[in-house]
């Protein structure tokens, strides 16, 4: 009997006991109609070949293991960035269960969000009644300051009109007339989660600056000295936003973080559940129109939001998820230039420390070949950092990247000798990546949790940077932006490099002469 | 914020009544009236729990429920390991349900098994406008080319499919013909259908009936039948649950010819009509196909419960009662074999858990099924409810719960939070969306869908893990730190 009360075996070890192994073999042999092992082995080897890769890349209809989610997920992320705001997703309710689970698995935090729970009758007659009842219930139960409405594909396919529905709901008394209900159409069959983020942020700007869907006067812009900061869809939002605030404070920059879920996804365990915490105040969201300029940390997360902001007459600047020395330099220099505030001594020291750390460690990264996948801006930021470390981002893949992203990546590759052999893959998935890892092997893979399947199948060690990360805890609390963030990323890269060196040199009397204690 | 615990049953019932009244006050009148039907206190001797169920969730209240797609793809079909399950529609549904349910299986993923992969048609605007049937046909060709060892394909419909009028049945039929009878199963499990995951289970069951059973006539049997052939129905092998169950059935002398659907294969589905008895764990999600097999093939089915030694013992005897003395003796032998282990587990953990109060809110089976396991450890269930149970589940629940248990059907985020705040249980067992809410409140929590990434919990081997996990949740030192020493 394998189990024992003194040393309880769970799934990690229980099923390796002989009783279970025998049971598995019998099941396979007698009942599974399993293909002969030799045939499985043949196909497994074939799937590693160039020939298979060609067929794999010829796919037109099938997507396998994509590295992207749908618009509504990004919509919920963006909505949670505002004070006491509850995201309200108009459409089928199962979607909301999925978004909440997805975020909770990444952040290890609660994620509050409601659905209008549309079913068959709403599919036929439209979801107006669901909106009317839903807004009233949410308003009464959860006492929000704002309800941010977005859609699922169901509501989009049947063509529900959010503007009209919200107006009617207010007329029916679901929420007070003056209550803030910004909205955005976020069809799941267009773009990805970063598009949904963009649409909601654009909806916020539209709502607060441009007259709340015709129910308030448009705001008149009276420029001040502040800047607006938009982070984009970001799995490191908790650490990153705090780091950005610290950097701005250190420079004496006056700012508004436009969209800040860093507190609601990082509440303490102290006996109280805070459904709401932190976030951009509604007042600040409105007053953001007066800012001197808006900075977006992720260009492809704000492609529609920034042009709308620019219409107000302010300057906008966008970056590609800046990571490392050069990218942080550019970001801070632009902030300094726009605000007239010099980059602080403190930040200059931090920069020097990051350069110091790179100098100490670059020998272990120089010439190493990497594959990266993730959201378009994150891919860019990581690739740029690798190149300044002397590493080569050989394969860079974004399932939700397009032509514009590909061109940007090519410009980046062309800017350095370390980009010479590198290639960007827009619109591809992780099954494409699997082929590439076999046919053009690299030393390390950077990606989210799903990359562990690639690590298992191809033997390429995975460094977990991205969203979602379900199977490692608390990394979202660390920034990857700023010089401190660069240091964090550097350490994560090095940890894996050193672990691999140790793993490759730990065979007694075979390779352990290189099992050095000093590296 | 701990409150004085009520002492008598009457006190408890009065408290529950007041609590229900209190939570209903927050709702607009119409909603309060509707929600009132889903909240009650169990009264001993009643035939059910006094709540309405399997009714549409109310918009805007933060229901915990999912959708029909989740019930079909996520629960029933997804675990069939040698088939490829296409999430047909936009990318999200497949992404959020990708490998998150921990249906363990053995196989070479991507080559002969596909359980932890996400196959999707990733619908774009043009597919909505012009329809997705051509894309589906092409996609099936691509699957056949790139994954030649797949034993079948299922088409799991997401919301748009039923709204844009696609004919996935026609595509499936045509492709089955083109690929020499290859199993291709269209499932109409669009997320807007029904009121919860539950309809998805039913639709998935029906699809097995129509597209597996009805298409396999004339296919040769893979094995010679024996009088002791059984199929495990409704075990999704979460953390290996079906394995720690199967081992007991085999030890008592039965032959398990199929597992539905955890670590299952299409061959096992096809073999099941040849079984002598279907043993059904998750009644909610697979009673439909069990009833069908009873009607069409004359196979009896029996519900069993493999949580905790009391229920396992009862269930082993119940299953054995369908067979001859050899199996009955086998059941006794198994019970005797494991009883020293069970005694040791209880001796170790019961003193640490005795008298602890638990509130549950899970899917369609566990809100009643796990109660015995807690009671074996001396713990008490003070509240329970189903995300998507039906009236027959609430009837069955009466055999498990005590007089005065608080019952909440399709509980809302607000209600659950209030109930836990007032009742102050020692443990809450529910899902990922609830976990961190209660932990913030300082209440120990275990996920009772995914076993909080542990498991198995089924069977004797599983009970030891269950006991260990409940102990580590409740007796973790961390809960003593929730209040800062200087805080009032």
State residue B4's pLDDT score.
55
On chain B, the residues whose CB falls within 8 A of the CB of A19 are: 247
pLDDT digit string, tens, across residues B380-408: 999 999 999 999 999 999 999 999 999 99
3-state secondary structure of B477: helix
Of A3, A44, A62, the CB nearest to B142: A62
Confidence class for position B5, pLDDT limits 50, 70, 90: low
- What's the rounded mean pLDDT across residues B212-222? 87
**CB within 8 Å: A117 and B92:** no
Option in B62, B92, B256 nearest A112 (CB): B62
Task: Give residues with Cβ within 8 angstroms of A205, minimum separation 6.
Answer: A305, A308, A309
Question: Per the structure block, which two tokens stand in for B251?
Answer: 């030890």
The 3-state DSSP class for residue A61 equals coil
Query: In whole angstroms, what is the distance from residue B116 CA to residue B119 CA?
Result: 10
Give the DSSP H or E segment for B261: strand B255-261
Interchain contact, B111 vs A43, CB within 8 Å: yes
Of the candidates B125, B193, B257, the beta carbon closest to that of A189 is on B125
**Contact list, A99 vs chain B (CB under 8 Å):** 96
Residue A464: pLDDT band by 50, 70, 90 thresholds?
Answer: very high
Rounded to the nearest integer, the mean pLDDT of chain A is 98
Nearest Cα neighbor of A330 from A115, A468, A510, A482 is A482
Size of chain A in residues? 519
Q: What distance in Å separates the CA atoms of residue B488 and residue B473, rounded to the nearest whole number?
A: 26
DSSP conformation class of B130:
H
Nearest-by-CA chain B residue for A115: B60
Query: Can you tell me the mean pLDDT for A454-483?
Result: 98
Mean pLDDT of A478-486: 98
Q: Residues A101-124: what's their mean pLDDT?
A: 97
CB contact under 8 A, B440 and A267: yes
List the single best residue of B24, B28, B85, B96 to mutate versus A (max A Cβ within 10 A): B96
Preferred mutation among A18, A90, A93, A374 to probe B, highest tally of B CBs within 10 A: A93
* Interface test with chain A among B1, B80, B92, B163, by most A beta carbons within 10 Å: B92
Answer whether A20 sits within 8 Å of B439, measured CB to CB: no
Q: Is the pLDDT of residue B221 over 70?
A: yes
Q: At A339, list the tokens.
A: 């605000």
Q: How far apart are CA A54 and CA A67, in angstroms?
A: 20
Q: State the residue for tokens 């990733």.
A: B122
Summarised one tens digit per residue, pLDDT across range A254-281 is 999 999 999 999 999 999 999 999 999 9
Mean pLDDT of the residues in chain B: 97
Q: How far is B392 from chain A (nearest CA, A)?
A: 23
pLDDT at B220: 81
User: pLDDT at position A229, please?
Assistant: 98
pTM for the model stands at 0.98
Among residues B344, B448, B349, B361, which one has the least CA distance to residue B405? B361
- Alpha-helical (H) ranges within A312-429 are 325-339, 345-361, 376-388, 403-414
Instruction: Using CA atoms of B458, B459, B462, B464 in order, give the dihedral in degrees to the nearest 10.
Output: 140
CA distance A41 to B112: 10
- Give this complex's ipTM: 0.98
Q: Judge whether residue B235 has pLDDT over 50.
A: yes
**Which residues in chain A have Cβ-Cβ distances shorter than 8 Å to B183?**
none
∠ CA A402-A404-A405 to the nearest 5 degrees?
A: 65
Residue pair B68/B200 in contact (Cβ under 8 Å)? The answer is yes
Q: Which residues of A touch B418 (CB under 8 A)?
A: none
C-beta of residue B447 within 8 angstroms of C-beta of residue B431: yes
List the structure tokens of A249: 């404070």
What is the residue-wise DSSP string for B324-338?
-HHHHHHHHHHHHHH
Closest CA to B472 of A381, A100, A10: A10
Q: Do A104 and B124 touch (CB under 8 A)?
A: no
Choose, out of A4, A6, A10, the residue to mutate when testing the contact with B (most B CBs < 10 Å): A10
In 3D space, the residue among B159, B179, B172 whose CA is nearest the CA of residue B66 turns out to be: B159
**Contacts of the segment A455-463: beta carbons below 8 A, 24+ positions apart:** A457/B109, A457/B110, A458/A434, A460/A371, A461/A496, A461/A499, A461/A500, A462/A496, A463/A492, A463/A493, A463/A496
- Known catalytic residues of A are 153, 157
CA atoms within 13 A on the CB side of B29: 0
pLDDT tens, residue by residue, B18-59: 999 999 999 999 999 999 999 999 999 999 999 999 999 999
Residue-level pLDDT at A466: 98
Is B65 close to A94, i.e. CB distance below 8 A?
yes
Q: How far is CA A392 from CA A369, B44, B263, B374, in A?
A: 5, 70, 41, 55
Other CB atoms within 10 A of residue B68 CB: 32
Residue numbers in B near A9 (CB within 8 A): 461, 464-465
Per-residue b or e along A462-472, where b marks 16 or more CB atoms closer than 10 Å to that residue's CB? bbbbbbbbbee
- Chain-chain contact of A154 with B163 (C-beta, under 8 angstroms): yes
CA distance A246 to chain B (A): 26
Distance from CA of A515 to the nearest CA of B (A): 33
Among A23, A108, A133, whose Cβ lies nearest the Cβ of B250?
Answer: A23
- pLDDT-derived band of residue B219, with 50, 70 and 90 as boundaries? confident
Inter-chain residue contact B60 with A135, CB threshold 8 Å:
yes
Q: What are phi and psi of A13, to 5 degrees?
A: -120, -25
B84 near A164, Cβ under 8 Å? no
Q: Is the Cβ pair A93, B456 closer than 8 Å?
A: no
CB-based contact B91 A68, cutoff 8 Å: yes
Please provide residue A287's backbone torsions phi and psi, each rounded to the nearest 5 degrees.
-70, -15
**Number of residues written out for chain B:** 488
Q: Which residues pair with A85 in a beta bridge?
A: A146
Query: Backbone phi, then psi, for A408, in 5-degree steps?
Result: -60, -45
Residue B217 has pLDDT above 90, yes or no: no
Q: Read off the DSSP letter of residue B76.
A: I
Q: Which of A27, A101, A123 sits opposite B96 (nearest CB)?
A: A101
CA distance B241 to chain A (A): 9
Q: With CB atoms and an 8 Å threshold, state whether B59 touches A188.
A: no
Q: Do B441 and A272 touch (CB under 8 A)?
A: yes
- Give the residue from B198, B163, B359, B410 showing the smallest Cα distance to B283: B198
Residues of B tagged active-site: 67, 70, 101, 201
Nearest beta carbon to residue B138 from set A61, A66, A97: A61
The Cα-based distances of A254 to A79, A296, B478 in angstroms read 23, 16, 39
pLDDT 10s digits, B148-202: 999 999 999 999 999 999 999 999 999 999 999 999 999 999 999 999 999 999 9
Separation CA B230–CA A211 (nearest Å): 67
Cα B273 from chain centre: 23
Count of alpha carbons within 13 angstroms of residue A263, beta-carbon side: 18
Could you say which of B431, B432, B482 has the minimum Cβ distance to residue A270?
A: B482
Q: Which two tokens stand for residue A136?
A: 């009233």
């Amino acid at each position: 009997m394998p189990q024992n009360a003194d040393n309880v075996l769970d799934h990690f070890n229980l099923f390796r006991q002989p009783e279970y192994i025998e049971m598995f073999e019998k099941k396979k042999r007698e009942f599974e109609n399993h293909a002969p092992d030799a045939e499985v082995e043949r196909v497994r080897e074939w799937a590693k070949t160039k020939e298979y890769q060609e067929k794999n890349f010829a796919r037109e209809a099938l997507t396998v293991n994509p590295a992207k989610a749908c618009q509504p997920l990004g919509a919920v992320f963006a909505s949670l960035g505002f004070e006491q705001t509850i995201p309200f997703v108009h459409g089928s309710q199962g979607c909301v269960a999925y978004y909440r689970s997805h975020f909770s698995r990444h952040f290890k935090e609660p994620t509050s969000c409601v659905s209008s729970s549309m079913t068959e009758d709403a599919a036929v007659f439209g979801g107006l009644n669901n909106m009317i009842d839903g807004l009233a219930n949410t308003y009464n139960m959860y006492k929000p300051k704002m309800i941010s409405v977005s859609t699922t594909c169901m509501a989009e396919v049947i063509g529900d009109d959010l503007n009209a529905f919200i107006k009617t709901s207010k007329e029916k008394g679901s929420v007070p007339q003056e209550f803030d209900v910004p909205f955005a159409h976020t069809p799941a069959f267009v773009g990805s989660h970063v598009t949904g983020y963009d649409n909601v942020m654009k909806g916020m700007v539209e709502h607060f600056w441009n007259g709340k869907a015709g129910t308030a006067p448009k705001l008149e812009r009276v420029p001040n000295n502040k800047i607006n900061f938009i982070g984009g869809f970001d799995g490191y939002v908790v650490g990153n936003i705090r780091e950005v605030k610290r950097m701005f404070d250190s420079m004496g920059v006056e700012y508004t973080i436009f969209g800040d879920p860093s507190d609601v996804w990082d509440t303490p365990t102290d006996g109280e559940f805070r459904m709401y915490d932190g976030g951009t105040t509604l007042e600040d969201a409105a007053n953001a129109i007066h800012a001197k300029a808006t900075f977006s940390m992720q260009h492809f997360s704000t492609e529609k939001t920034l042009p709308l902001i620019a219409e107000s007459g302010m300057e906008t600047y966008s970056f590609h998820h800046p990571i490392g020395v050069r990218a942080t330099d550019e970001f801070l220099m632009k902030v300094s230039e726009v605000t007239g505030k010099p980059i602080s001594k403190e930040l200059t020291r931090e920069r020097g420390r990051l350069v110091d750390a790179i100098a100490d460690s670059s020998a272990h990264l120089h010439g190493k070949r990497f594959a990266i996948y993730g959201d378009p801006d994150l891919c860019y930021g990581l690739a740029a950092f690798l190149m300044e470390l002397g590493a080569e981002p050989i394969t860079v893949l974004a399932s939700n990247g397009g032509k514009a992203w590909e061109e940007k990546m090519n410009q980046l590759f062309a800017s350095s000798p370390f980009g010479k052999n590198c290639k960007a893959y827009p619109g591809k998935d992780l099954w494409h990546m699997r082929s590439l890892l076999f046919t053009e092997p690299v030393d390390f893979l950077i990606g989210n949790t799903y990359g562990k399947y690639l690590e298992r199948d191809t033997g390429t060690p995975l460094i977990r940077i991205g969203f979602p990360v379900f199977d490692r805890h608390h990394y979202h609390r660390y920034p990857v932006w700023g010089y401190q963030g660069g240091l964090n990323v550097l350490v994560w890269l090095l940890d894996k490099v050193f672990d691999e060196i140790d793993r490759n040199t730990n065979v007694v009397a075979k390779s352990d002469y290189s099992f050095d204690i000093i590296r | 914020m701990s409150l004085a615990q009520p002492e008598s049953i009457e006190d408890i019932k009065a408290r529950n009544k007041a609590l229900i009244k209190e939570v209903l006050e927050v709702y607009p009148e119409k909603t309060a009236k509707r929600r009132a039907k889903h909240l009650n206190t169990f009264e001993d001797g009643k035939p059910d729990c006094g709540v309405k169920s399997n009714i549409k969730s109310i918009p805007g209240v933060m229901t915990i429920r999912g959708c029909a797609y989740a019930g079909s793809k996520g629960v029933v079909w997804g675990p069939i390991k040698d088939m490829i399950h296409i999430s047909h529609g936009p990318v999200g549904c497949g992404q959020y349900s990708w490998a998150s349910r921990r249906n363990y299986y053995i196989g070479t993923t991507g080559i002969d098994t596909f359980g932890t992969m996400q196959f999707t048609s990733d619908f774009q605007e043009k597919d909505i406008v012009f329809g997705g049937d051509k894309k589906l046909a092409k996609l099936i060709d691509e699957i056949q080319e790139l994954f030649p060892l797949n034993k079948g394909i299922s088409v799991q419909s997401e919301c748009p499919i039923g709204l844009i009028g696609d004919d996935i049945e026609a595509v499936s039929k045509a492709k089955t013909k083109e690929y020499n009878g290859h199993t291709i199963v269209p499932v109409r499990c669009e997320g807007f259908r029904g009121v919860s995951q539950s309809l998805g289970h039913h639709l998935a069951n029906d699809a097995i009936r129509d597209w597996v059973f009805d298409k396999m006539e004339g296919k040769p049997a893979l094995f010679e039948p024996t009088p002791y052939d059984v199929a495990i129905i409704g075990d999704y092998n979460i953390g290996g649950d079906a394995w720690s169950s199967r081992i007991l059935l085999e030890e008592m002398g039965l032959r398990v010819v199929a597992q539905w659907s955890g670590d299952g294969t299409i061959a096992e589905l096809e073999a099941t009509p040849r079984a002598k008895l279907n043993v059904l764990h998750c009644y909610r999600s697979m009673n439909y196909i069990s009833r069908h097999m009873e009607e069409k093939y004359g196979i009896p089915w029996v519900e069993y419960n493999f949580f905790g030694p009391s229920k396992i013992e009862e269930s082993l005897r119940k299953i054995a009662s369908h067979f001859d003395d050899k199996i009955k003796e086998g059941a006794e032998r198994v019970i005797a074999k494991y009883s020293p282990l069970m005694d040791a587990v209880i001796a170790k953990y019961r003193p640490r858990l005795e008298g602890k109060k638990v509130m549950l809110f899970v899917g369609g089976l566990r809100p009643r099924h796990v109660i015995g396991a807690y009671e074996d450890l001396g713990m008490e269930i003070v509240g329970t409810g189903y995300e998507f149970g039906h009236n027959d589940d609430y009837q069955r629940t009466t055999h498990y719960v005590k007089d005065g248990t608080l019952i909440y059907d399709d509980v809302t985020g607000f209600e659950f939070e209030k109930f836990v705040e007032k009742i102050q249980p020692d443990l809450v067992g529910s899902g990922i969306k609830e976990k961190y809410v209660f932990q913030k409140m300082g209440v120990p929590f275990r996920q009772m869908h995914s076993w909080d990434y542990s498991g198995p919990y089924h069977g004797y081997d599983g009970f030891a893990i269950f006991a260990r996990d409940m102990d580590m949740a409740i007796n973790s030192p961390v809960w003593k730190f929730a209040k800062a020493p200087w805080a009032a």
